[in-house]
Structure 1
Amino acid sequence: MRLVIFLPILCCQLSKSAFAFNDNSLKVLLFWAVDNATRTQETVMRNVAYARRMGGRQCCDVILAHYEGSPNDWDKNWYASEVTSSLQKPGYKFRFLQEAYREDQWTQKYEFVWALDSDIDFTDVNLVELFQLARSSGSLIIGPTFAGDQAWKTYATDLMVDDAVESRKALIRSDNLVDRQKINVLGKPDPRCMMRHTDFVEMTAPLLSSMVLSLILKDCVDCIHDRAEWGLDRVWCEMASEKFSVSACTLLDATPVRHLDWQTAKVTADFKDAERKVKERYTKYWAQVRNIDCMLAHKQRRVTIDTHGNIKEDD
């Protein structure tokens, strides 16, 4: 069991950060990769308006990375008022984020970068609570769990199918249905927990501390590929845990966001090839896709979770 160390710098920012009850200093950067579909524009605009209502007008900067279409496809008045900057070219979210990243500027300006897929809706979430939980986790890569209409399965059902054959193997994202279900199950809200330390947070909507950006966007060489971005989220938790001597990844159960699951991503052979290359280069950091512990919702103390999803409470 890794020793969990809470980062003082995160705690100390509480009184001067966006989505606190005080005057804001550090901001949150809301970063989306977007197409020009009407539903994308409506969802992003609704999320931005909600964030400003919850955190104040100055809570956030917004960067839109247009992989399809251009800023001209959006409402010009809204864009001029709400969008800090933009990119326009073919590609994927984390390649865009890598290109947009400005180390000194972002570290001084932002507490978190929220790297969002366009089919995430957080307008039903108490963002003040979400950010308070994120800070209190002591982690650097925080994943909101996903509410929605996905056909989630329980640990028990999943392991009954899989226990005899695959349960001890490292999981990779693949066409294997059981593998995909295990990743999905980890991201489902666990009503027993407020939050969970984990070794895996996927790339759909991670909240990234500005402290960890240099590691994952610069130091993790060849973790982000031009034509695909699978693999980074399989190594970033263990890599950051080693560098910062913390349990670097947390899932937030108390504040799930809605994943509309539009399934617009076109997965090609390049994705699997990118993940294979990341695994070969960074084998020691490869995630098992597991819970480490749980902050109990009813007692607000941490307990361990075994491989079958059972909570182990100390006497």
Structure 2
Amino acid sequence: MVSRMASMTTTSPVKYRGTKVLKRSASFGSYLKRSLSMRKRELAELHKQRFDAIGLIQICFVMLVLLWICFTVSLYVQGTPNYPTPFDPELIHSSRWKLMEVVRDYGRSLVYMPYTWHIVNSEWPRFHGEIVASLEDPVYWPEASGRGRSESMRVLVVSAVGDTPELAENWNDIFAKLGSNEQGDSFHFHFFHYTATNEAWKKMPWYSDEALVTSTLQTGCKVDFWKTLDEGISDEYEYVWFLDDDLDFTFFHWGIFRSLLRRFNPVVSTPSIVPVEFGERSSDFDFMRMQSESFRGQAMLAHAAPATEMMAPVISTKIWSALYKRITVQNGRSDWGIDGWWSKLARLAKTYCNAEVGNLVVDVTPLVHLDSHNIDGGVRRQPGRVWNLWNYFVDDHQLCKRQCLGNNCEPFTANDVRNGMQVLENAYGACSDVEWTDMQGGLIRNGMGPIALSGAHTKPKFEPQKLSLSSFKDYTPRGIYGRFKHKFEDTKEGEAAASGALDMVYAITMPERKEYIEEALQELGVRTKVLNAVVVEELTEDDYIALSDTFTKGAHKQIYGRKTILPVSLSFFMCYYDAYVNGYSTIMVVEDDAMVTVEVEKVLATFNEFKDQDCTVLFLGYCYADCRQLQKSVARVSDNLMQYETHKGITPLCNHALVMKSDFVKGYMERSDATFWKEPTDHDLMRYLVERKEKVCVPPKAFMGQNRKEFGESNNENQHVPENWHNRYENGIKPMHGDFGCLLEPAKHK
């Protein structure tokens, strides 16, 4: 017992200590396990954070690369991509397609650098020759612009120049190129030698010809020199051409450039700008750089821009007085804001004075920017000069500033705009009243304080335009009207003319149906004007390209490849526009197979009822209208009229006999795309009605149909009967006259 107790007393502490050790070991193991687990989690978290950080860095790096690429593309790739044209070359004459390819190929040689000068230069004359040969065709010169095409013009070239042999040699080439023009145009050169020396220039034989060259030796900046010009130069010159002294004329062609001046008469224009080589600077504004692309199946010769910068603007002296007033009050150390003013005048001319184009940039006659910055001492920014968003160059010791100074920073006032509009009215004959919002401002401020783009993007709103060979033709509404106006025959008075039922009825007819439609309309006894329909043979490829989507792949299936659709659209347009020009209050347009299907008295009564309603168009037949949808929308408004508000659920109604009011005709003819058809003319009309939610009137049943019994189906490829067509007809019998019309249920008057 004792021994056992002794053994217990001797071993217990050991066991106890061992147990404590084991327990401590277990505790330590658990702690270590927990610690390792925590560490593992921490490491995992750190690893995750590390990868998150790496991922963030990678994302930032990718974004920086993308931004760099975008910046590089915007700065160095001077033009727009040559995407595949949507036009089908098989539908266009091969010679026209060849010209487009020539323009695109050589245009791309300049636009997409690097290019080899001697290769491009050797091919460039052929490129220009293709354009010049095309412009010899009288079809590209409407009567008004064609008269002035052969008249010579006088141009004053104004440039602030340095005094180095390289500059003088470059201007020797410019003088030779402009002086040898084939049009007999006269150029007078006025040089401002801002270094107050002209030693290198005296070596040029032409420089001493006082009849061609005048010069001023004086230190200063561009605007200082411009102030010395005479306000009365508009009496002697048609254009003033401000040129920087670091421009090369290798790819310029005066004959093509002046053709666009003569045809489109812009108040401000400029050649496009390309860099001297890949990676160098052309223009700081993308809209000033040469564009090389196709437009409606043709090469783009020029494009409209929101503004024209200071580098090479050609200013019409028609606006010189308004421009000169701004120049005289300008701080001469900076030209900031002057470009904003002439650009605003050009946009005002386009918006309010019926100018065909505002600021015009001619792509196919580019100038090469040598980017020597001679007037700035040969450098953009000197070392150590501080950049400041608010003041631009704070530590700036140069005489000529690239920033707004003093009153140059002030926006244009309403009085400025009024003075500008006065000279524009003198230039274009008449201008409409300027909206108040477009009288405002001129220089725009961004959220960071300084002036942005010196007023280049101020109101009125810029309208993009692209000009190709077909643009030389006058495709404005008035131009189209003047071209086909001879197809109207003398107006025939009807017995009901004095009753005021309608001001005029237009009958669009082919020769073989003329006698029929004249007899049919005699029943109505209204004033009638016959239009001999426009036909395919009277249109050219240019017409189809400029006026419709006939050759456009993926366009409306009833237009693509069908040449008879456009003549139909033009024939209807001629009637609408003639009514617009003559100010008729209510007109009717009928096709040459139209026939009256009810009593004449009811038709005449319907005309008078229509004039008293607020609907703008009256369809006298339905053709392929979905009668079920139409029935849900109409409400009776008079004895013979139902009215509804147009919406997408109603299919196009027929144009074979329709009546219109003058307010609607005016808006329809003044819309921006009045002479371009993406779809057949009846679809175009319905789309316009739906977009404006116009109220339309229809009779309960067709009052005028189409005489298909005598004439058969349509002869203009515009016939399309929907499948599974289930309309309701009177007595369940399809009308013999061929109008697949509705029989609308009588309803109560509104």
Calculate the TM-score normalised by the size of structure 2: 0.32
- Aligned mate of 2:285, from 178, 184, 194: 184
Partner of 2:216: 87
Using the TM superposition, give the Cα deviation of residue 291 of structure 1 relative to its aligned residue in structure 2, in angstroms. 6.1
Q: Cα deviation per residue 1:251-285 (whole Å; 9 max; x = unaligned)? A: 11121111111133436664323388435345623
Using the TM superposition, give the Cα deviation of residue 212 of structure 1 relative to its aligned residue in structure 2, in angstroms. 1.7
Partner of 1:278: 409
Q: Cα deviation per residue 1:121-177 (whole Å; 9 max; x = unaligned)? A: 124322100111123233111011102246689xxxxxxxxxxxxxxxxxxxxxxxx
Partner of 1:308: none
- CA 1:71/1:100 → structure 2, altered by over 3 Å: closer, same or farther? farther
Larger radius of gyration: 2
Q: Tell me the distance in 2 between the aligned counterparts of 1:36 and 1:79.
A: 13
- CA 1:46/1:55 → structure 2, altered by over 3 Å: closer, same or farther? same
2:190 equivalent to 1:63? yes
- CA 1:287/1:135 → structure 2, altered by over 3 Å: closer, same or farther? same
- Aligned mate of 1:147, from 259, 262, 274: 274
Contact (CA 8 Å) 1:152, 1:184: kept in 2 or not?
A: no
Partner of 2:618: none
Partner of 1:119: 246
- Aligned mate of 1:232, from 338, 344, 358: 338
Contact (CA 8 Å) 1:134, 1:252: kept in 2 or not?
A: no
2:421 equivalent to 1:292? no
Alignment-mate amino acid for residue 99 of structure 1? T
Contact (CA 8 Å) 1:140, 1:208: kept in 2 or not?
A: yes
What are the ranges of 5 or more consecutive residues in structure 1 without an aligned counterpart?
1-7, 18-25, 154-179, 304-311
The DSSP-based 3-state class of the residue aligned with 1:54 is coil
Partner of 2:367: 257
Contact (CA 8 Å) 1:137, 1:250: kept in 2 or not?
A: no
Q: Tell me the distance in 2 between the aligned counterparts of 1:295 and 1:182.
A: 19
Partner of 2:166: 39
- CA 1:221/1:86 → structure 2, altered by over 3 Å: closer, same or farther? closer
The DSSP-based 3-state class of the residue aligned with 1:262 is coil
Contact (CA 8 Å) 2:305, 2:359: kept in 1 or not?
A: yes
2:156 equivalent to 1:29? yes
Partner of 1:205: 312
Using the TM superposition, give the Cα deviation of residue 57 of structure 1 relative to its aligned residue in structure 2, in angstroms. 7.5
Tell me how large the CA RMSD over aligned residues is: 3.5
- Aligned mate of 1:15, from 114, 131, 150: 150
- CA 1:95/1:213 → structure 2, altered by over 3 Å: closer, same or farther? farther
The DSSP-based 3-state class of the residue aligned with 2:180 is helix
Q: Tell me the distance in 2 between the aligned counterparts of 1:10 and 1:111.
A: 15
Using the TM superposition, give the Cα deviation of residue 70 of structure 1 relative to its aligned residue in structure 2, in angstroms. 2.4
- CA 1:125/1:281 → structure 2, altered by over 3 Å: closer, same or farther? closer
Alignment-mate amino acid for residue 81 of structure 1? D
- CA 1:97/1:12 → structure 2, altered by over 3 Å: closer, same or farther? farther
Contact (CA 8 Å) 1:199, 1:288: kept in 2 or not?
A: yes
Q: Cα deviation per residue 1:189-224 (whole Å; 9 max; x = unaligned)? A: 1123322222210010111111121111125663x3
What are the ranges of 5 or more consecutive residues in structure 2 without an aligned counterpart?
1-142, 294-299, 381-392, 395-400, 414-439, 443-454, 476-545, 547-672, 679-750
Alignment-mate amino acid for residue 294 of structure 1? Q
Larger deviation: 46-55 or 268-277?
268-277
The DSSP-based 3-state class of the residue aligned with 1:65 is strand
Q: Tell me the distance in 1 between the aligned counterparts of 2:206 and 2:144.
A: 35
Q: Cα deviation per residue 1:27-76 (whole Å; 9 max; x = unaligned)? A: 11122111101111111111001111224776211111110142344225
- CA 1:296/1:9 → structure 2, altered by over 3 Å: closer, same or farther? closer
2:377 equivalent to 1:242? no
Q: Tell me the distance in 2 between the aligned counterparts of 1:9 and 1:98.
A: 35
Partner of 1:164: none
Q: Tell me the distance in 2 between the aligned counterparts of 1:108 and 1:35.
A: 29
Q: Tell me the distance in 1 between the aligned counterparts of 2:264 and 2:183.
A: 24
Q: Cα deviation per residue 1:209-258 (whole Å; 9 max; x = unaligned)? A: 11121111125663x32211121112322134437724532111121111
Contact (CA 8 Å) 2:221, 2:375: kept in 1 or not?
A: no
Q: Tell me the distance in 1 between the aligned counterparts of 2:323 and 2:265.
A: 18
Alignment-mate amino acid for residue 316 of structure 2? S
- CA 1:56/1:296 → structure 2, altered by over 3 Å: closer, same or farther? closer
Alignment-mate amino acid for residue 403 of structure 2? K
- CA 1:123/1:59 → structure 2, altered by over 3 Å: closer, same or farther? farther
The DSSP-based 3-state class of the residue aligned with 2:149 is helix
- CA 1:10/1:44 → structure 2, altered by over 3 Å: closer, same or farther? farther
- CA 1:240/1:45 → structure 2, altered by over 3 Å: closer, same or farther? same
Q: Cα deviation per residue 1:59-99 (whole Å; 9 max; x = unaligned)? A: 21111111014234422543212742111212222331231
- CA 1:39/1:139 → structure 2, altered by over 3 Å: closer, same or farther? same
Larger deviation: 70-79 or 124-133?
70-79
Q: Tell me the distance in 2 between the aligned counterparts of 1:99 and 1:45.
A: 24
Contact (CA 8 Å) 1:212, 1:240: kept in 2 or not?
A: no
Q: Tell me the distance in 1 between the aligned counterparts of 2:213 and 2:282.
A: 37
Q: Tell me the distance in 2 between the aligned counterparts of 1:151 and 1:136.
A: 34
Bigger proportion of residues as strand: 1
Larger deviation: 136-145 or 200-209?
136-145
Partner of 2:554: none
Bigger proportion of residues as helix: 2
Contact (CA 8 Å) 1:196, 1:291: kept in 2 or not?
A: no
Contact (CA 8 Å) 1:140, 1:211: kept in 2 or not?
A: yes
The DSSP-based 3-state class of the residue aligned with 2:240 is strand
Partner of 1:174: none
Using the TM superposition, give the Cα deviation of residue 299 of structure 1 relative to its aligned residue in structure 2, in angstroms. 4.9
Question: How much identity, in percent, do the aligned residues show?
Answer: 21
Larger deviation: 82-91 or 203-212?
82-91
Partner of 2:302: 195
